[in-house]
Structure 1
Amino acid sequence: MRTTPGTVAELIARQWGDHRPGLMYGGSTHTAVLGRHRCAQEAAARAALLVDLMPAGRDAEPHIGVLLDNTPEFPFWLGAAALAGAAVAGINPTRRGPELARDILHTDCRILVTERAHLPLLRGLDLPGVRILVTDSEEYAALLAPYAGAKPGEAVLAAPAPGSRFLLYFTSGSTGAPKAAVCSQGRLAAAADSLVRQFSVTAEDVHYVCMPLFHGNAVIADWLPALAGGASVALRPRFSASGFLDDVRAYGATYFTYVGRAVQYLLATEPRPDDREHSLRLGFGTEAGAVDAARFAERFGVRLVEGYGATEGGASVQRTPDTPPGALGRAGAGDDLAVIDPQTGTECPPAELDARGRLLNGSAAIGELVNRGRSLFEGYWRNPEAQAARTRDGWYWTGDLFFRDADGFLYFAGRTDDRLRVDSENLAAAVIENILARWPAAVAVAVYAVPDEVAGDQVMAALALEEGERFSPEAFSAFLAAQPDLGTKMSPRYVRIVESMPVTATNKIHRAALRRSGFRCPDPVWWSPPGGSGYRPLEPEDLAALLAAYEAHGRAELLER
C-alpha cells in the first residue's frame, strides 16, 4: 500500500534498490537511461560532497544555487539538497549582470552549481563567498569521485523534516527585484502526492520535462510527481517545438507540463500525418488558452489541463469535469477563495457572461483573488515587506485579478500591479524602465504590459525623446544589445513615441491610460515582429493582422480593459 510521503528526501530514498528506469536523457538520437537506484546513488554522492564542502560555522540549512540547463545534474542536486537538508535556489539563466549576481547573493548561496555553457554569464560578477562548481569539468569529477559509494541518509547537514526548506524559487514583484518564495519539503511532497492522485500517475508513466527546472512548474508539477508515483523522468535541456514529438516517441513519454507560449510553438510546427502516433495522454500547465487547448487536442489527440497554483502555495484552483471553457476551476481543497475589491475589502459580485462567455460587468466583477482560509504560503526569503503585503489582514492576497461566475467557477483576468508575464517569465516593469532610461535619446520611459495575442503579456514601452531627437530603430536596437543586464525576455515588442508622458493629478505616469490604448494609439508605434529582428513601423496592415489573431484566440476583449 502506497503511503503519503512526508519529505522530498523520502521520495529520493525510495528509489534505492529499485532498478527500473528512473531518468532518461539524450533525446531521440542517443537516449541514455539511468535506473531509479542510480539516481538515488548520484544524489547521495552529491549530498556527501555538499556536507564536506560546507565551511566551518555553516548554516543549519544552507542554500545551493543551481544555474544549469535541464541536464541530469539538475535533478541530482535537487535530490542531494533534499537528502542533506539543504535548499536549492533555481537561478534563471536569462538574467544578466548585476541582476543575476543579486539573485545568487540575495538567496545566500554558498555554492553555485553551473556548467561551462553558462560561465560567460558569471564573468565580471562579484560573488564573494560563493564557491562555483562546474559540472562538466575535470575538477568536478575529481571532487565527486570519493563519494561514489554514499547512500541516502548517511551525510546530512540537518535531518530532513517536513518543515525543512527545500526550494527558493523566484517570483517577480512590482517593486522590481524578484522575490524568492520558500518551499518546504513537506509541502512539496504533499503537492506531488496530490498530483499523483489527480492524474493517476503510475510506474508505467514517463514524465517529459521540457520546461526549465529553475522554474517551479517543471520541478513541482513534473519531476516531483514522477518521483512520488514511481514514474520515469525524461529530460530535454531546453524546450524545442521541432524536437518535441521525436523526444516523446523516443522516451515513450505519457505526461508533460507547459507554461506560456509553449503550446502555441508546438501548434506552429508543420503538421505531419503521424501527429497522433505517440504515447502522450496528458499535458498540465498554465496559459495555453482555451482556443489553443482545443486545437492541441484536435491535432495531437492530447488533453491539456489548465491549472492555477502559485509557487508560494497561498492559493490553488482545481479544474473539475464540469469547468466551463475559459474558466480555471473552483477553489482547491481547504482554500476559501474570494474575489475582493482591494479598495473596499468587500467581495465582488458574480460575473455576468453573455452567450459567448464574454464578461459584461467587468468593472464590478473583477477583483483580486484572496484566500481567506488556511494558506500554505511559507514566506519570502529575506523580504518581510513583501511577505507582509501578501498576507495583510490575515488573508493571502494573490496579486492576481479574477472574476467568479454565479456557479463559483473562477476566471483569470490579469495582474494587480505592473508585472508582466512574457513566455512564462514574470518580469517587473521597473527593472526594464531603469535599463531603458539609460538611452541618451530618451527623457522619460514607461514600461507596461499589453496582452499577447495568444497567452500572457508582451512588453510595451513609451518613450519621450529629447527635443530635436527622432526615433532611430537601428540605434535603439544597438543600445538594447549593449545592455548587459537586459534579460532575453525584456526587450520591448512595441515602442510608442510620445510628445510627453501622460500624468495623473499627482504627476505620476498614467500607466492605466497607456495600457488602455496599447498599440492602438495616435502616436507612432514601432514593433519587432515575432521571429524578426530590429524594429519597423506598425503599419495598418500589421495592426489588422494582429487584431485578427486576438480574435482568433478569443482574447480580443483583453484589449478593451
Structure 2
Amino acid sequence: MPTVSEYVQRQWGDRRTGLRYGDLELTHHEIAAGAAARAALLAELLPRGVEPHLGVLLDNTPEFPLWLGAAALAGAAVAGINPTRRGPELARDILHTECRVLVTAHAHLPLLDGLQLPGVRVVVTGTEEYARLLAPFEGAKPGEVEAAAGPVGPASRLLLYFTSGSTGAPKAAICTQGRLAAAGESLVTHFGLGRDDVHYICMPLFHGNAVIANWAPALVAGAGVALRDRFSASRFLDDVRAHGATYFTYVGRAVQYLLATPARPDDREHGLRIGFGTEAGAVDADRFAERFGVRLVEGYGSSEGGAAIQRTPGTPAGAIGRAAPGGDLAVVDPETGRECERARFDGAGRLLNGGAAIGELVNRAPNPFEGYWRNPSADAERRRGGWYWTGDLFYRDADGFLYFAARTDDRIRVDSENLAASMIENILARWEGVTGVAVYAVPDPVTGDQVMAALSLREGLDFDPSGFAEFLSAQPDLGTKMAPRFVRVLAGLPVTATNKVRRGVLREEGFWSGGPVWWRPPGAPGYRPLTPADVPGARGLQGRGNRAISHARSASEDGAGGAGAA
C-alpha cells in the first residue's frame, strides 16, 4: 500500500505548475522541496519522546499544503485547527491533540492572545523569524529526514481532523497515510482525474473534505492545485477561469451561495467539468448543471472512513447510491439491531413507510475506521457490537439504493410517523426565491414534534404566506405531515466554517429567537404570523430543542456526512 510520503517524493523533478495562489505559481518540484525543508525544520522543532503532532492554524494559503507534505515526509500528524473557534475551545483543540508545534499566520495571532498553551512552540509564517528558521534547510530533499516516529508506512498517522458534532467537544478523527492515499486513488479512478486537471480548493483545509476529497486526489494524479483563502461565491468563476480549474469539492451551502449570485451570459465559459460533495440537493444540483454546465456528484462518506456510498449510473433521483466496494451497509433499527423494511413510495415519490423504513446506517463489514484521538468512549460508540454506526439515518429501496434521511441527533416524529427532513428540504428548495432551507423539529406542546422550516430569501424579497401555501399544495410528493407547521424567515441561515447549516442552533433557539415566524393552524389552509398566544407553552419550549424526543428512527439534520470523505 502506498503512502502520502511516497506521492510527495514523486513530485521531485516535475517542473510543471503544481500550485496556484493568486499570482503565485509553484512547480511540483518546488512543492516537494518546500515540503522537504519544512519536514527538516519540524524534526528540529519537535522535542524527543513526544507525539509527533503539529497544529496548523491557517487559511488556505500555500503554507497549508506544504506543511501537509512536510508532515507526511516526517512521519508526523497534522491537526487542522479551526480559526472560527475561540478562547478555551481553541486552546482545548490544540492541547487535546498534543500539538507541540503550532503553525499559524500573523492574522491569526489575536486568536491566541491570553491562551495557556504550555509546551507549544508557535511558528508564524511570513515573518523574518520564519525565514531564518527555514534557511538552513533550503537544500533538503524529500526522503532525507529521519522520521520522528520510526519509518514512515501506511499505518503512520497523518491527519487528526475534528469532526463536527451537535453536542460535546469536537472529536479528532485519525487518518493514516495509507487511508488518505487510498482515498485519493479511489477518487482519481472514479472520476478519471489526471495530470492535466486543476483542483480548485475553496473549502477550508482544516476540514477533512478539502484534504481527503480534493488535495489527496490531486497529489495522487499529479494534478495542479489552485487555492482560495476562503470560499467566495462572487470570486468563484473568476478563480476557475484564471486557474483553469476542472474539479472542485463543495460542502454545505456553497452551491446555494453560487446559485444566489446574479446570472451572467458567460456563466458557462470555463473549463470546470465536475463538482464532488454533499448536501447540494437534487433541485440545486439540477439548477447548477443548467446554469453553469457542471455536473455535481453527491457522495456520502463518513469523515472517519467507516462507511461510504458510491453513486453509479442508474442511481434514482434523490438517492445517493449503493454501498461502495468492500462495504456491507445496512439500515437497522438502532433499538433492536434488526434490518428495517425496504422503502415504499407512491406514484408521486412520497415515502409511504417511514416509520418502518428509516433507520441508522451501519457497516457490518471490516472497515477503515481508525478511531478518535484519546477518546475511547467515542470509539466504542462507533463500534457497537462489532459494527460501524454512522450516526446517520437512511432508508433503502427495493433495488438497494440508499437515501439520506437525517442525522440521529435531530429527529422529526409527527403523529407517530418518522419524516425525512432532507426530503422536505429538497421540496422546499423548489420555491422560487429561496436561497437556503433548513428543516428541523420543534417540540409539539402535547406530544412528539412539529416540522419547522427556516428560510432565507433572495435579497429584496418578502415572505409571501399565501404564495408559499399555494406552492406547497402543488407539490405532488409532499406528504400531509411533511408540510411545515412553522416557517421562520431569516436574513441568512447560521452556518459552520465549512458552510454546513447549524441546525442545532436553530433547534435550540425554538420559536422566539429573531426573525418573523409564520404558522399554519391545524386545519387552516394558509399561514399567518405566530404570536405567543397561538402556541400554549411555546415560550417554555424555547431552548429545549429536541431533547424531549426519544424515538431513534425519526429524521433530520445537516445532510449526508460526506463532508468528511465526500
Same structural fold, with TM-score higher than 0.5 when normalized by the shorter chain: yes
Instruction: Write the distance in 2 (CA, Å) between the matches of 1:455 and 1:256.
Output: 22
Q: CA distance change for structure 1 residues 173 and 196 in 2, over 3 Å: closer, same or farther? A: same
Equivalent AA in structure 2 for residue 408 of structure 1: G
Instruction: Write the distance in 2 (CA, Å) between the matches of 1:401 and 1:359.
Output: 14
Q: CA distance change for structure 1 residues 545 and 152 in 2, over 3 Å: closer, same or farther? A: farther
Check whether the contact 2:250–2:275 (CA below 8 A) recurs between aligned residues. Answer: yes
Gaps (5+ residues) in structure 2?
413-419, 429-437, 455-482, 495-511, 521-525, 530-554, 558-566
Equivalent AA in structure 2 for residue 72 of structure 1: P
Q: Are residue 11 (structure 1) and residue 7 (structure 2) matched?
A: yes
Q: CA distance change for structure 1 residues 394 and 494 in 2, over 3 Å: closer, same or farther? A: closer
Q: Are residue 67 (structure 1) and residue 57 (structure 2) matched?
A: yes
Who is 2:251 aligned against?
A: 259
Q: CA deviation at 1:531?
A: 8.1
Equivalent AA in structure 1 for residue 183 of structure 2: A
Q: CA distance change for structure 1 residues 541 and 271 in 2, over 3 Å: closer, same or farther? A: farther
How many residues are paired up? Answer: 464
Who is 2:154 aligned against?
A: 162
Instruction: Write the distance in 2 (CA, Å) between the matches of 1:251 and 1:364.
Output: 49
Q: Are residue 414 (structure 1) and residue 442 (structure 2) matched?
A: no
Instruction: Give the structure, 1 or 2, with the largest relative contact order (CA under 8 Å, sep 6 or more).
Output: 2
Q: CA deviation at 1:55?
A: 1.5
Q: CA distance change for structure 1 residues 363 and 522 in 2, over 3 Å: closer, same or farther? A: closer
Who is 2:19 aligned against?
A: 23
Instruction: Write the distance in 2 (CA, Å) between the matches of 1:276 and 1:526.
Output: 35
Check whether the contact 2:406–2:556 (CA below 8 A) recurs between aligned residues. Answer: no
Q: CA distance change for structure 1 residues 544 and 286 in 2, over 3 Å: closer, same or farther? A: farther
Q: CA deviation at 1:495?
A: 13
In structure 1, which of residues 272, 278, 282 is the aligned counterpart of residue 264 of structure 2? 272
Check whether the contact 2:410–2:440 (CA below 8 A) recurs between aligned residues. Answer: no
Q: CA deviation at 1:56?
A: 3.3
Output the aligned Cα RMSD.
3.2
Instruction: Write the distance in 2 (CA, Å) between the matches of 1:412 and 1:450.
Output: 9
SS of the aligned residue for 1:347 comes to coil
Equivalent AA in structure 2 for residue 529 of structure 1: A
Check whether the contact 2:452–2:488 (CA below 8 A) recurs between aligned residues. Answer: no
SS of the aligned residue for 1:266 comes to helix
Check whether the contact 1:172–1:419 (CA below 8 A) recurs between aligned residues. Answer: no
Who is 2:347 aligned against?
A: 355
SS of the aligned residue for 1:51 comes to helix
Instruction: Write the distance in 2 (CA, Å) between the matches of 1:526 and 1:261.
Output: 18
Q: CA deviation at 1:327?
A: 0.5
Instruction: Write the distance in 2 (CA, Å) between the matches of 1:222 and 1:531.
Output: 26
Map residues 528-547 of structure 1 onto 2, 5 A cutoff.
528-530=490-492, 536-540=514-518
Instruction: Write the distance in 2 (CA, Å) between the matches of 1:45 and 1:558.
Output: 47
Deviations along 1:312-335, one digit per CA (max 9) or x if unpaired, are 100000000100111000000000
Check whether the contact 2:489–2:515 (CA below 8 A) recurs between aligned residues. Answer: yes
Instruction: Write the distance in 1 (CA, Å) between the matches of 2:131 and 2:411.
Output: 42
Q: CA distance change for structure 1 residues 134 and 360 in 2, over 3 Å: closer, same or farther? A: same
Check whether the contact 1:71–1:235 (CA below 8 A) recurs between aligned residues. Answer: yes
Q: CA distance change for structure 1 residues 249 and 139 in 2, over 3 Å: closer, same or farther? A: same
Who is 1:393 aligned against?
A: 385
Q: CA deviation at 1:360?
A: 1.2
Equivalent AA in structure 1 for residue 71 of structure 2: A
Equivalent AA in structure 1 for residue 299 of structure 2: G
Map residues 404-553 of structure 1 onto 2, 5 A cutoff.
404-418=396-410, 513=449, 516=451, 528-530=490-492, 536-540=514-518
Check whether the contact 2:411–2:556 (CA below 8 A) recurs between aligned residues. Answer: no
Check whether the contact 2:33–2:142 (CA below 8 A) recurs between aligned residues. Answer: yes
SS of the aligned residue for 1:109 comes to coil
Q: Are residue 130 (structure 1) and residue 120 (structure 2) matched?
A: yes
Q: Are residue 338 (structure 1) and residue 330 (structure 2) matched?
A: yes
Who is 1:85 aligned against?
A: 75
Q: CA distance change for structure 1 residues 539 and 193 in 2, over 3 Å: closer, same or farther? A: closer
Q: CA distance change for structure 1 residues 174 and 261 in 2, over 3 Å: closer, same or farther? A: closer
SS of the aligned residue for 2:400 comes to coil
TM-score by length of 2: 0.76
SS of the aligned residue for 1:346 comes to coil
Equivalent AA in structure 2 for residue 315 of structure 1: A
Who is 2:93 aligned against?
A: 103
Q: CA deviation at 1:279?
A: 0.3
Instruction: Write the distance in 1 (CA, Å) between the matches of 2:403 and 2:171.
Output: 25
Check whether the contact 2:340–2:358 (CA below 8 A) recurs between aligned residues. Answer: yes
Q: Are residue 141 (structure 1) and residue 131 (structure 2) matched?
A: yes
TM-score by length of 1: 0.77
SS of the aligned residue for 2:100 comes to strand
Equivalent AA in structure 2 for residue 393 of structure 1: G
Instruction: Write the distance in 2 (CA, Å) between the matches of 1:128 and 1:306.
Output: 43
Q: CA distance change for structure 1 residues 301 and 177 in 2, over 3 Å: closer, same or farther? A: same
In structure 2, which of residues 208, 228, 239 is the aligned counterpart of residue 247 of structure 1? 239
Deviations along 1:241-274, one digit per CA (max 9) or x if unpaired, are 0000000000000000000000000000110001
Instruction: Write the distance in 1 (CA, Å) between the matches of 2:321 and 2:167.
Output: 30
Instruction: Write the distance in 2 (CA, Å) between the matches of 1:285 and 1:109.
Output: 30
Instruction: Write the distance in 1 (CA, Å) between the matches of 2:388 and 2:24.
Output: 44
Check whether the contact 2:439–2:451 (CA below 8 A) recurs between aligned residues. Answer: no
Q: CA deviation at 1:304?
A: 0.4
Check whether the contact 2:202–2:228 (CA below 8 A) recurs between aligned residues. Answer: yes
Deviations along 1:424-447, one digit per CA (max 9) or x if unpaired, are xxxxxxxxxxxxxxxxxxxxxxxx
Who is 1:464 aligned against?
A: none
Instruction: Write the distance in 1 (CA, Å) between the matches of 2:519 and 2:358.
Output: 33
Q: CA deviation at 1:529?
A: 2.2
Check whether the contact 2:393–2:406 (CA below 8 A) recurs between aligned residues. Answer: yes
Check whether the contact 1:314–1:396 (CA below 8 A) recurs between aligned residues. Answer: yes
